[in-house]
Chain A
Amino acid sequence: MTLTAAAVPALWRLARLEFDPVRQQRVLLYPEGVVLLNDTGGAILDLCDGRRSIADVAAILQERYRRDVTADVIDYLSQLVERELVRVE
């Protein structure tokens, strides 16, 4: 599946973001699994609320990172869509 900037991503209903105080790291928890997130991954997923498009997410992050991150966001979310942890409309 190829994601476009117009796609609207949301976390899987059963996945949730947490902070793990043991690892001092953000994690994505879901039935039978865990994804350990780096800062960028966490920042992207925080913005995936089922309303913002990938373009919206990238625009917000562009202000923070001072460069166009659209391709990075698409790459990152594509992996999670492949694993069915992120759903798109």
Chain B
Amino acid sequence: MVRADEELKTGDWMRVFTQARELGVLQLGLSGGEPLVRPDVEDLVAHAHGVGLYTTLVSSGVGLTPGRARKLRDAGLEHIQISIQDSDEKAADSVAGMRAVRQKLSAAAIVRELGFALSINVVLHRGNIDRVGEMIDLAARLGADRLELANTQYYGWALANRNALMPSPAQVAAASDAADEAMRRHRGRMQIVYVLPDYYESYPKPCYGGWGRHYLVVMPDGRTLPCHGATHITTLRFDSVRDHALRWIWEESAAFQAFRGDAWMPEPCRACPRKAIDFGGCRCQAFALTGNATNPDPVCTLTPLRAIIDKAVQEATGPPAYQYRYISLAPERT
């Protein structure tokens, strides 16, 4: 979080959007915090649309009035993503929680009425993953075009609370089955993207399609990152759009160069054919779990570092239940 007076001004953002489009960027996501708290969101959307960016507003849905939504549509906004946080679930019987849920429902209705594309985003964890079927049905009732069910990634706050958040193997298997079934049922009407918790995968995820390949994040204070989690890598310094053109940051800055290509990779990654698929996995995860961002992503069962993940799963969820699907077991090492 940064204070409002430290945030980029309207003109700064517009300059960044123009530079992004010139760099080849086609998709823009306006997120936060809550982007609707900025009174200039409509102007930013209009500028983004004008330079040819396909623009998504990522919002809690709270504060999206019909008047505001109409202005955003007229400015050229095409897609609204409403997040349903776990806190809503926890607080669902409290008055404040119900109010937040109602506001989201009414925001979703406004989004559909005005003809925006609607995505619903839910972050899954031990406390809500058993209700994945209900969440899918809710998204369908809201008329969502897309539903993203993403399991918690363990960085920062979530890493500190990993033992409380990590679902059990049985929960993950049941949720995967529910999601598979729902994907078939809603096919052609609602696209469902289900992101497995990577601790239960055998190989790392191609984080954002590889470091500095397709994606960049400009923070409210202007610092520009290769992914949302990158500030957790405390050994990197991130340049700001206040000081540099976006193209320079993308092409030249040390942070974006750090893990491009394969020169930075240790073995077994550099010789591994999977590097073309996962680009070495997640640098933030390697740093968070091993203290060295150039280590292999410990999720990968081809590295001895996998023991870190298996130990974490065991600590968080008890002895692994071997009969379930979707569980990757590290090879025996003797």
Using a CB–CB distance below 8 Å, which chain A residues touch chain B?
A: 13-14, 18, 20-23, 27, 29-34, 84, 87
Contact = CB atoms under 8 A, between A and B. Distances in A.
A31 B79 contact: yes
B245 interface: no
Contacts of B191: 84
7 contacts: A14-B145, A22-B22, A22-B23, A27-B26, A31-B117, A32-B79, A33-B27
B155 interface: no
B21 interface: yes
Contacts of A20: 24, 26, 52
Contacts of A22: 21-24
Interface size band for B: 20 to 34
Interface in B73-98: 78-79, 81
B146 interface: yes
Contacts, number: 43
A14 B144 CA distance: 12
Interface in B1-58: 21-24, 26-27, 29, 52, 54, 56
Contacts of A32: 27, 29, 56, 79, 119, 146
A31 B56 contact: yes
Contacts of B56: 31-32
B146 A31 contact: yes
A22 B52 CA distance: 11
B187 interface: yes
Given A23-B24, A29-B26, A31-B117, A87 B188 contact: yes
B190 to A, nearest CB: 10
A34 B27 contact: yes
